[in-house]
Amino acid sequence: MRNILTYLIIVCSLSSIEVFSQSGWFWLNPLPQGNDINCVKYINANTAFAVGNNGLVLKSTNSGLNWNVSYISDSVYLYYVHFVNQITGYISGTCSSIFKTTDAGNNWILMTIENNYGFYNSISFTSPETGFAFGSKVIKTTNGGNSWTTIINGANINSSFFLNENTGYMCGSVIIYKTTNGGDVWKDVYGPINKTIHSIYFINNNTGIAVGGYGLILRTTNAGANWTDQSYNTENSLLSVSFLNENIGIAVGWNGMSKRTTNGGLYWNSILTSYQSLSSVSFNGIDRCLSVGSSGTIVISENSGLSWNNVSSIITRNIYDIYFTNENTGYAAGYEGLIMKTTNAGVNWSSQNTGSHYLKEIFFIDNNTGVIGGSVFLKTTNEGANWNIILPLSYENVNAIHFPSPDIGYASSSGYNLGKVYKTTDRGSSWNVICTFNSQSLNSIFFTNENTGYGGLGAFIFKTTNGGINWFGVTSGMVSRVTSIVFINENTGYASGENYSIIKTTNAGANWTAIFYGPDSWYSKTFFLNENTGYTIGEYSIVLKTTNGGYNWSSHYIPGDKQTNSVFFTSENTGYIVGNNGMILKTTTGGNPIGIRTITQHLPEAFVLYQNYPNPFNPSTKIRFLVPPSKGARGMMDIKLTIYDVLGKEITTLVNEQLKPGIYEVEWNSANYPSGVYFYKLSTNNFSQTRKMILIK
């Protein structure tokens, strides 16, 4: 098992090193990805960049039809992108971060900023060397971003626009400012008002438009001396405005609110762009226009904004569960009756709407027969081609379903101060309440056979040994709701919940022991593939993995910040996660991270192979090595990192590829290997070094 890491200094604590790896998870829906996109900019007729949450950077070279997805940090939200020419550009965001590229976005370097708790919403450059960043303060550079000086402290600037080296505008929360001396002095020219001003754009030296909260549109025709309020009475805010020429402009905002003008902003007409909130809009200088927004939304117009088409996939409803019947065929269900199906391991998904039902849990008895529960019980007998309503529910929702045998199944439901156990004896064709719990919601259920089962009732775990007729409680150690229960055999089970912990039993629920206390979050689902390998997911996109039966847990980064709701693995390496806003992620590495990062801006002077850490280890260890510059083609070198057993037999190769100069780290997971002494060897054309490590299980 292999994952290469290269480290880059890109964190909020700018004097330290952030351990940021490329995730082992990738997007299946929405596509090309599902993070909120905060800004889009054309730099020429064909090339566009967009940036967003979780360090997201998107690049298109065919005018926005297709996008390359990359991440330059997982701890920074990126708010703005600006290019001064075809190859030199800047990105700004949270953690007082400003990144620079000098190779058209292939690589981004952090330009160190002193205050790491600030943010920058906008960047403007008046020359290749002179520029400004606007946000929690206003800063200026005169050497292409190598150093910055503070112009204004304690600001709250949302947008900026420079007409030339001397004249520029910026809008704060409620005020518009202007400079006529190159940004050294700023004077307010409008406001304060009772609406937030989000974006400003000037068509020419005299005519400018500003947009903001509650449909705010302001227009000036005398270089900002006076502004006319052309606001629309709406609850929605306009977040961005841009113009193709002096006549045609677009403004976009919350809930798909979009306006178009053909007379320089004198009048605006409503247009339909998207049902999602849009945060940014940009023209390519001809007739093409892009707009981006929440949940990875990308829409494009080929006729200067008259009509729009989706570039990104449009399923953005919350998905609550996922279930695969084999390695290729899987189902997902969620909000407003959404049911999705794939027959090629997630490459393509078909969707159907079963009405306004809330669908929470999926279980398939065999390849043909499946059940979905939520605000209703549904059943299919033809691989999901049709779903029949079996039992509508009132004021309660099914949150877990489990079949210990093909005919007999159980479901738990929660309502207002009420929990119920449902049972079917005919493969889900009918369901009956067999037990009711007053004053508590029943949030999870799992049966190890037709008679023995477990349920999460508040912070307690209840057990039945007579098919759900009677239940008795055991102390779980939880202090809040138990949200997920899973057993891997008659005796060994796991539960997770809202108090940031995972508990385990090895004696059929008689006793439960806390085996993990995690970060300040709650866990929505625990899934075990076998007796050793399991996953727990939850709030804030948390993904935890164990490979030794819960003894140790590692945290996995996923490329999104939406709520994760369910996880399912079809094999040791292949798994899926679903969540809010249409999130479907897939891994083919068991969730283990992959990718390359740089740990320092200084290039190594020589090859170095470090001692692995930890050592001894179980089940995984990290190996770090240095690659110096090479005189070969593109500075790349053939690098091989190999693991041998104590007899000298090669058992796996972790790295076998060309690498650039840098500091690399590889994680080796030894879950499938016995205890003992192992050796790892780094070799190139002119260097070789071997070190010893010890695996203790």
SS (HEC) of 312-326: CCCCCCCEEEEEECC
At residue 213, what are phi and psi to the nearest 5 degrees? Answer: -70, 150
pLDDT computed for residue 251 by the predictor: 97
Residue 525 has pLDDT above 60, yes or no: yes
For residue 519, the model assigns a pLDDT of: 58
Cβ neighbours around 146 below 10 Å, total = 11
Helix H, strand E, coil C: the string for 609-642 is: ECCCECCCECCEEEEEEEECCCCCHHHCEEEEEE
Please give the single-letter amino acid code of residue 552: N
Helix (H) or strand (E) holding 398: strand 396-402
Task: For residues 663-680, give the mean pLDDT.
Answer: 85
pLDDT confidence of residue 565: 95
What one-character DSSP code corresponds to residue 520? S
Beta strands 278-283 and 289-293: pairing type?
A: antiparallel
Between 539 and 382, whose confidence is greater?
Answer: 382
67 vs 416, more confident: 67
Q: Give the model's confidence band at 165: pLDDT under 50 very low, under 70 low, under 90 confident, else very high.
A: very high
Residue 82 has pLDDT above 70, yes or no: yes
Look at 17 and 155; give whichever has higher pLDDT.
155
Question: CA 684 to CA 686: how far, in whole Å?
Answer: 5
Tell me which of 24 and 428 has the higher pLDDT. 428
In this prediction, residue 3 has a pLDDT band, given cuts at 50, 70 and 90, of very low
- Tell me the pLDDT tens digit for each residue of 265-321: 999 999 988 889 999 999 999 999 999 999 999 999 999 999 999 999 878 899 999
Give the dihedral sign, CA 44/45/46/51. Answer: positive
Q: Answer whether 684's CB lies under 8 Å from 621's CB.
A: no
What does the angle CA 513 – CA 515 – CA 521 come to, to the nearest 5 degrees? 115
Question: Residue 350 corresponds to which tokens in the numbers above?
Answer: 């078909």
For residues 103-124, give the mean pLDDT.
84
* End-to-end C-alpha distance for the chain, whole angstroms: 18
The answer to whether residue 437 scores a pLDDT higher than 60 is yes
More confident: 206 or 394: 206
- Are 331 and 364 in contact by the 8 Å Cβ rule? The answer is yes
The model's pTM is 0.81
Give the model's confidence band at 621: pLDDT under 50 very low, under 70 low, under 90 confident, else very high: confident
Give the pLDDT confidence score for residue 659 in this predicted structure: 78
- Which residues, at least 6 apart from 672, have a Cβ–Cβ distance to it below 8 Å? none
3-state class (DSSP) for residue 29 = strand
Neighbours of 351 (CB within 10 A): 13
Q: Which residues pair with 41 in a beta bridge?
A: 49
| pLDDT (0 to 100) of residue 114 | 59
Q: What is the pLDDT of residues 385-401, one digit of tens each?
A: 999 999 999 999 999 99
Assigned architecture for domain 322-528+538-587? 7 Propeller (2.130)
Which residues fall within 8 angstroms of residue 305, CB to CB, at 6 or more apart?
Answer: 244, 248, 250, 260, 271, 273, 289
Q: How confident is the model at residue 610 (pLDDT cuts 50, 70, 90)?
A: confident
Q: Please determine, for residue 238, whether its predicted confidence score (pLDDT) is greater than 90.
A: yes
Give the pLDDT mean for 494-509: 88
And the tokens for 182?
């190159």
- The whole-number average pLDDT for the span 163-173 is 95
Stretch 34-39: mean pLDDT, rounded? Answer: 97
pLDDT for 72 equals 86
Tokens matching residue 462: 């209840």
Strand partners, 48: 42, 60
* Other beta carbons less than 10 A from residue 606's beta carbon: 8
Q: pLDDT value at position 22?
A: 58
Number of H-type helices and E-type strands within the chain: 0, 64
Least trusted range by pLDDT, from 230-244, 438-452, 586-600, 677-691: 586-600
Tell me what pLDDT residue 11 has: 34
Mean pLDDT, to the nearest integer, of 392-415? 96
Dihedral of the alpha carbons of 505, 571, 536, 318, in degrees to the nearest 10: -140
CB 41 within 8 A of CB 633: no
Note the pLDDT of residue 106.
86
**Least confidently predicted of 8-22, 373-387, 591-605:** 8-22
Task: For residue 663, give the DSSP letter.
Answer: E
pLDDT at 241 over 60: yes
Give the pLDDT of residue 368: 98
CATH classification for the domain delimited by 608-695, as one of 2.40.50.140, 1.10.260.40, 3.30.365.10, 2.60.40.1930: 2.60.40.1930
Spatial neighbors of 326 by CB under 8 A, at least 6 apart, are 367, 570
- pLDDT class of 362 with cuts at 50, 70, 90: very high
Confidence tier at 4 by pLDDT (50, 70, 90): very low
Q: Report the DSSP beta bridge partners of residue 678.
A: 645, 693
Tokens 């008679």: give the residue.
451
**Is residue 32 predicted with pLDDT exceeding 70?**
yes
Q: Determine how many CB atoms are found less than 10 A away from the CB of residue 343.
A: 15
User: What's the average model confidence in pLDDT over 418-430?
Assistant: 97
Give the per-residue pLDDT at 634: 43
Tokens of 409: 């199944």
Q: What is the pLDDT of residues 87-107, one digit of tens each?
A: 999 999 998 899 999 999 988
331: helix, strand or coil:
strand
406 prior amide bond cis, ω within 30: no
The answer to whether residue 8 scores a pLDDT higher than 80 is: no
Contacts of 628 (CB under 8 A, 6+ apart): 603, 604, 605, 606, 607, 661
> For 467-491, what is the mean pLDDT?
88
Q: 491 to each of 111, 224, 452, 454, how far by Cα in Å? A: 55, 74, 11, 12
pLDDT tops 80 at residue 218 = yes
Q: Is the pLDDT of residue 13 over 60?
A: no
Alpha carbon distance 474, 468 (integer Å): 15
Contact (CB, 8 A) for 185 and 177 = no
Task: Provide the 8-state DSSP code for 237.
Answer: P
Report the 3 state secondary structure along 170-199. EEECCCEEEECCCCCCCEEEECCCCCCEEE
What is the distance between the alpha carbons of residues 192 and 172, in angstroms, rounded to a whole number? 9
pLDDT of residue 567: 97
User: Domain residues of the chain, as ranges?
Assistant: 322-528+538-587, 608-695
Classify strands 493-497 and 482-487 as parallel, antiparallel or unpaired. antiparallel
Question: CA 242, CA 246: separation in Å to the nearest integer?
Answer: 10
Q: Percent of the chain having pLDDT more than 90?
A: 67
Question: Where do the DSSP E strands lie in 284-375?
Answer: 289-293, 298-301, 309-310, 319-324, 330-334, 338-342, 350-353, 359-364, 370-374
The fraction of the chain above a pLDDT of 70, given in percent, is 92
Question: How many Cα atoms are found within 13 Å in the side-chain-facing hemisphere of 349?
Answer: 25
Q: Give the distance between the most distant pair of CA atoms in the chain.
A: 83
Name residue, tokens 């695996």.
695
Of 511, 516, 514, 513, the closest CA to residue 538 belongs to 516
What's the mean pLDDT in 650-674? 81
pLDDT score at 313: 85
- How many angstroms separate the CA atoms of 643 and 191, rounded? 67
Grade residue 593 by pLDDT with cuts at 50, 70 and 90. low
CA atoms of 239 and 156, how far apart (whole Å): 15
Distance CA 339, CA 331 (A): 7
pLDDT exceeds cutoff 80 at 596: no
Query: Does residue 663 carry a pLDDT above 90?
Result: no
pLDDT given at position 61 = 94
- Mean pLDDT score, 116-125: 90
* CB atoms near residue 415 (< 10 Å): 15
Give the pLDDT confidence score for residue 537 in this predicted structure: 92
